Structure formats: C-alpha cells, structure tokens
A and B are shown apart, each in its own frame.
Chain A
Amino acid sequence: DGGITQSPKYLFRKEGQNVTLSCEQNLNHDAMYWYRQDPGQGLRLIYYSQIVNDFQKGDIAEGYSVSREKKESFPLTVTSAQKNPTAFYLCASGDRGRLQYFGAGTRLSVL
C-alpha cells in the first residue's frame, strides 16, 4: 500500500454539518480526482484538478467543494447542501488523466 492515502476510512455526518475527506498522494502526479461510487451507478466524477490552485467541476459537483493548495493534497468537503451524501468516495491521482491510481476510499454515512 502507498501512493494515495484517504482518511478517514469511515465518516459519519450529522444533518447540517460539513465534513471534509482527506486525500494525499506521494506519486508526484499533477492531476487529482474525486469520484462518488454508488451501487448500480458506477463512478461519477465530482471534482478534478490538473494543477495546484486550479480545479474544475465534474458531473456531480453540487453540494461539494475542494481545494488544491498543495500538489500532494486534494481535500473534499461535503457540505450541508448535499442532500444525499451517503456513498463511497474515491480519490485518484493520475498522469495526464490516462492512468489513474486510486485510494482505498472513504465511506460516508449520515446519522
């Protein structure tokens, strides 16, 4: 194991609360990605970043926010505006988008 580290493994959110999922990589990749994985819906892209201090919305960005202050780090905040946050969240980093290396994931549940 190594390369991409996601924490925590499990996370619980109370109603109205913002929570932040951590993603760190030591692969020296410029690009980083956040996906949401739901049963029967595959992987859906939330946000991605090709370079430090820049990021773009993916297909389902509403209710989420990100930052990219360091090359190694790409945290995802699930805000209270996300009404259905229960899911498995995957972070990935990659070489110009082609090959992506994934973290072990964070499972978020609502209390």
Chain B
Amino acid sequence: AQRVTQPEKLLSVFKGAPVELKCNYSYSGSPELFWYVQYSRQRLQLLLRHISRESIKGFTADLNKGETSFHLKKPFAQEEDSAMYYCALFPKARGAQKLVFGQGTRLTINP
C-alpha cells in the first residue's frame, strides 16, 4: 500500500533561515510526487510537482528514490511562507485513481 509520511506536524523557523519540510513515502513503483499548500483563508493549491523540476516561490523539492523522500526546501524563509503544507503521492500504476496525502506540516515563520 502507498503511504506518505510527514514527520513534523509543526515547524517553526525565523525569517531568513533555511526551511526544510520532510516527506517520506512508501511505494513499490515509481510515483509522481507533489507538494500542496494552504495559506490562511485560502484554498488548498498545488505548489509544485517533481516532474516539473521547477522552483515555485523559492521552494524546490528533489525526489530521492534511494531514500524514498521528497523534501521541500527554501534557502531563506519569508513570513508569507507560513502555511499548511501537504506532500502527496500519485501511484503510476495502471488504474490509479487518487492522490495519497501526508498528514501535513504547519510551517510558521517568525519575524
């Protein structure tokens, strides 16, 4: 069975410090991985996906198949990064129909 684990429910860092939100997954095949973000009073929305290999709002995430991880990183945190972050996995199996979400990490950036 597929599983996504975000070991930190809460993460607090100071503005300007580096940020890393951890995401580990278990899946026997080759998954697609995503990070979704929910800012205060806003809808849950896609932040980035691993196949795009892009940087969004200064965030990057690299898929490490050896460690089965997809950690989200930003070198210098900003106050507007405070939000709830979810890591999600989509199995690349035939007939796969749904995302598997982690439990989420609430990130707080202190001024």
Contact = CB atoms under 8 A, between A and B. Distances in A.
Give the interface size bracket for B toward A. Answer: 10 to 19
A43 B98 contact: no
A106 to B, nearest CB: 12
B72 to A, nearest CB: 15
A47 B49 CA distance: 24
B90 interface: yes
Interface stretch (A12-20, A75-83, A94-102): A94-102
B98 A48 contact: yes
Interface in B41-76: 43-46, 49
Interface string A2-16: 000000000000000
Contacts of A105: 43
Q: From DSSP, what is the main secondary structure of chain B's interface residues?
A: loop
Q: From DSSP, what is the main secondary structure of chain A's interface residues?
A: strand
Nearest to A48: B98
A42 B96 contact: no
Interface in B70-97: 86, 90, 96-97
A99 B46 CA distance: 8
A50 B32 contact: no
Interface in B3-33: 6, 9, 32
Contacts of B103: 40-42
A104 B49 CA distance: 22
Interface of B: 6, 9, 32, 34, 43-46, 49, 86, 90, 96-99, 101-104
**A-B pairs with the 4 shortest C-beta distances?**
A42-B103, A102-B44, A43-B101, A42-B104
